[in-house]
A = this chain, B = another copy of it.
Amino acid sequence: MLEYFAKWKQAIFEVVQEELQDRKTIAAQVQTLGPDAIQRIEDFTNGGKMLRGGLVCLAYQLVQNTLNKDALLAAGAMELFQSALLIHDDIMDRDLLRRGDASIFNQYKMLSDEIEVEDSYHLGEALGICSGDLAFFLGFELLTLVASHNSKALELITLCSKELAYVGIAQMADVLRGAVTKKTDTNTDMGKFLEEDDPEKAVLQVYQYKTGRYTFSLPMMAGAILAGANNDLIKELELLGEELGVLFQLKDDEIGIFGDEAVTGKPRGSDLREGKKTLFYVYANEQLQARDKFTFLQHFGDTDAEDSEIETLISLLESSKIKEQVQAKSQELAEASRKRIQSLPQVNEEFQKLLLDFVDYNLTREK
Q: Whole-angstrom distance between the alpha carbons of A206 and B91 in the complex?
A: 26
Contact in complex: B30, A173 (CB < 8 Å): yes
**List of B residues within 8 angstroms of A166 by Cβ:** 26-27, 30
The main secondary structure of chain A at its interface with chain B is helix
Q: CB within 8 A of A31: which of B91, B125, B205?
A: B205
Q: Which of B140, B145, B168, B190 interacts with A140 by CB under 8 Å?
A: B140
Chain A: residues with Cβ within 8 Å of the partner, total of: 79
Contact B131 A172 (CB under 8 A): yes
**Interface status of A62 (Cβ within 8 A of chain B):** no
Which of A114, A130, A131: most chain B CB closer than 10 A?
A130
A343: chain B residues within 8 A (beta carbon): none
Q: How far is the CB of A301 from chain B (nearest CB, A)?
A: 11
A165 to B9, CA, bound (A): 25
Could you say how many copies of this chain the assembly holds?
Answer: 2
Contact in complex: A144, B137 (CB < 8 Å): no
- For the complex of A and B, list the 10 residue pairs with the smallest distance between their C-beta atoms, beginning with the closest: A92-B126, A114-B188, A141-B161, A31-B173, A111-B190, A144-B158, A33-B193, A137-B165, A134-B168, A140-B161
Interface residues, chain A, with chain B CB atoms under 8 Å away: 23, 26-27, 30-34, 36-37, 84-85, 88, 91-92, 94, 111-112, 114-119, 122-123, 125-127, 129-134, 136-138, 140-141, 144-145, 147-148, 154, 157-158, 160-162, 164-166, 168-173, 175-176, 179-185, 188-195, 205-206, 209
